[in-house]
Chain A
């Protein structure tokens, strides 16, 4: 199943069972969604529940907040995280804080979905990773969807939750195919151990999970080690328990993240883990991250700006050799 289909299925099933679930955003209705995530929903549920909006992101989120206050469960689609910058006041100052500022009187069951990440030659205003902006705001739950399991089950949970959720997707995953075992137990509040190992742990999320999985066998055979791979999943609240349990076992860890290294979310992961298990470590942590530059248009430069499977492999092997693996 395509990743975009898993998202579509999650929305469809929730709209089917709960009349109060609505989706709004640019091109989500008649047009069918820019990445086809909402394809078919307009025909099925009508314009009252699948709502086309103008190109006005601030209002998309602001109106979703009002809808949630009025008893609906809105899913606001922001075409890409880049445009969510126009809605940051609504996301940060309102969506995240109304519950707290009202002493719990205001409840906002709403989701703001958006894809992010470095795409292909879209240049820096359409290509970037902004998770650390959202994950640093108390009051917002931040989920990431790396595959069909996290997309389908994660989005369904996000819609059902009474908390405001920023749901991050990756643009390049929409047309990727993954399995969707519907009966598999999946807890969206937890990180997922995708592969068990005992000598080092690699943490990543969104598309980087797949870039890591592409080279993990090669890393294992080159270094002659066993690698644990973990999809971090929710970025706020972070599932620190699963992360630290793994590090206590493997004693070494690597973060692979697409966002720029300076201020990147991996810095938070390193910090949180070090506070918990500094003395369990046999090696300094390694961060493989994007370069601290806006994303260039030129394809060669663009690939230099972010981790690639080859870079992940080379950097981990080099680091492993320096650190006794």
Chain B
């Protein structure tokens, strides 16, 4: 069991990393525009949580690539979205920060910090209303926990006893401002303690993330109550491609990289060298194909400018 999990973890973390490194390269070449927020270094949280949460509904922030991959969305459609192509997961209308696939219970991809937290609470209300208890996971950064959306949502999830798992990725920086310069409480899990069960975990260890999320998922389903996890993690890249990242020291980055989740998993002894080589080759090939697919995909047709604004069959509802 542990070995097959480890293999799954390795595949998705590696897929996420290669996808993002390649996205960075394509961005530099001008094939990808706008904002691009990379999650390199944070794969253990994104992959471990998504796999542990299984079929439940997931809401994430603008750093959404690795979550979407771990949720099972084909990298081709994600890369095509970054390229702004018609075949993109959001038809080229959303870009990096707006991946959605409701058929896989994946609801974005939200580019306003913390705006999706109340959405997750509303979703949990709707699911409970309909007698479905798969639970809802919402991921956000430490920066989001200083805003009203966060507290309003904790309050209601607790008051209404909703099965929501709040997952905070504490990577110590809200864009370029270090946590102790923006937040009076730096152990984020303490902010949630008065409302619900709340804990802090090592977000660089995928087994710890997986175990914590799995336990939390069982709890929220059985008790119909919210739960809070703060995962301590780190992003190696700056906030986005337009950020120089000069607010962090070389030493700090070195320390962070020494805890790399992919390297850590490799050293666990659970994966054979053959498997690692096999996956490394497979993933390179998959991402290469995704880039080829994105490059060769057509631009959206001009008519697409006007579609998806309103429902096109609304004439049916005339009284």
Contact = CB atoms under 8 A, between A and B. Distances in A.
Nearest to A60: B118
Indicate the member of A65, A69, A104, A138 with the most B CB atoms within 10 Å: A69
A69 B102 CA distance: 9
B318 interface: yes
Interface in A70-84: 70-72, 74
B130 interface: yes
Contacts of A54: 152, 155-156
A128 to B, nearest CB: 22
Given A105-B102, A163-B310, A89 B124 contact: no
A66 B311 contact: no
Interface stretch (B14-22, B83-91, B198-206): B83-91
A93 B115 contact: yes
A22 B129 CA distance: 10
Given A66-B118, A72-B129, A161-B317, A103 B149 contact: no
A36 interface: no
A66 B127 CA distance: 10
B301 to A, nearest CB: 13
Interface in A31-66: 48, 53-54, 56, 58-59, 61-66
Q: How many of chain A's residues touch chain B, expressed as a range?
A: 35 or more
B112 interface: yes
Nearest to A109: B311
B127 A70 contact: yes
A187 interface: yes
Interface in B285-318: 307-311, 313-314, 317-318
B117 interface: yes
Nearest to A158: B317
B102 A103 contact: no
B210 interface: no
Interface in B89-125: 89-94, 98, 100-102, 107-112, 115, 117-125
A121 interface: no
Interface in A100-143: 100-107, 138-139, 141
Given A63-B122, A106-B100, A186-B319, A100 B308 contact: yes
B153 to A, nearest CB: 7
A17 B130 CA distance: 16
B319 A156 contact: yes
Nearest to A156: B319
Contacts of B129: 22, 48, 70, 72
B148 interface: yes
Interface of A: 22, 48, 53-54, 56, 58-59, 61-72, 74, 89-90, 93-94, 98-107, 138-139, 141, 153, 156-157, 160-163, 186-187, 189, 237
Interface of B: 57, 88-94, 98, 100-102, 107-112, 115, 117-127, 129-130, 148-149, 152-153, 155-156, 307-311, 313-314, 317-319
